[in-house]
Amino acid sequence: MIDTSLTTPAVKGKPSFEPVIRDAAGRRFRDLRLSLTARCNLSCVYCVPEGAPQPRERFASPATHAERVRRLHERLRQTQVRQTGREPTQYPELPELVRRLREAGIPRIAMTTNGYFLERLAGPLAQAGLESLNVSVEFAPWAYIEEVRASEESS
Ligand code: SF4
């Protein structure tokens, strides 16, 4: 059972980062997981039905998205926002979104990714304020296979 009551002292008093959501055992949930997109650059067989097209999506701008998260954070007081997807690197302006989330006062920003685009994105994301990264290593072989195939095709 999730209690999202806003009458806790953490919300009534001074701003605090004590999370509001708690379960019946009194455990508080510090992570707000946000799915940025239903798209992924990979098509793992256990995730994507065979022949399924990539979903069409209109992405909210970083400013719009950050404002929504700021409002959620104001109510829920999560200490960490974790960006997921399917694959969050498919969001077109990811470093800009991270920067805006920092500006919006999110204490800690994290991301879970398949790691495919990290070589290009890790630096800009770190500069923008991303603090924590989970790479799903079970997907590394897919990236590796792609790399081997690309190098074979170019030789
Ligand atoms: S990398 Fe993850 S999200 Fe992408 S297809 Fe594979 S399991 Fe699904």
β-pair type (109-113, 80-84): parallel
Predicted local confidence at residue 17, as pLDDT? 67
- Model pTM? 0.77
Whether the CB-CB separation of 94 and 122 falls below 8 Å is answered with: no
Residue 46 CA: which ligand 1 atom is closest?
Answer: 7
Predicted local confidence at residue 62, as pLDDT? 97
Domains of the chain are 21-154 (3.20.20.70)
Q: Is 78 left (phi over 0), alpha (psi -120 to 50) or beta?
A: beta
DSSP structure class, residue 95: H
* Tens-level pLDDT at each residue, the chain (155 residues): 444 333 333 344 445 567 788 889 988 888 899 999 999 998 888 888 888 888 899 999 999 999 999 999 888 888 899 999 899 999 999 999 999 999 999 999 999 999 889 999 999 999 999 999 998 865 666 667 777 778 888 87
* DSSP run (H or E) holding 135: strand 132-135
Tell me the CA–centroid distance for residue 69 and ligand 1, in Å: 24
- Tell me which of 41, 42, 90 to substitute to probe ligand 1's pocket, judged by most ligand atoms within 8 Å of the beta carbon: 42
Please give the C-alpha separations between residue 80 and each of 53, 76, 110, in angstroms, as whole numbers.
32, 11, 7
Tell me the CA–centroid distance for residue 131 and ligand 1, in Å: 22
Cβ-proximal residues to 14 (8 Å cutoff; 6+ apart), any chain: none
Please give the C-alpha separations between residue 85 and each of 34, 37, 41, 74, in angstroms, as whole numbers.
7, 5, 11, 23
Predicted local confidence at residue 45, as pLDDT? 84
Residue 43 CA: which ligand 1 atom is closest?
Answer: 5
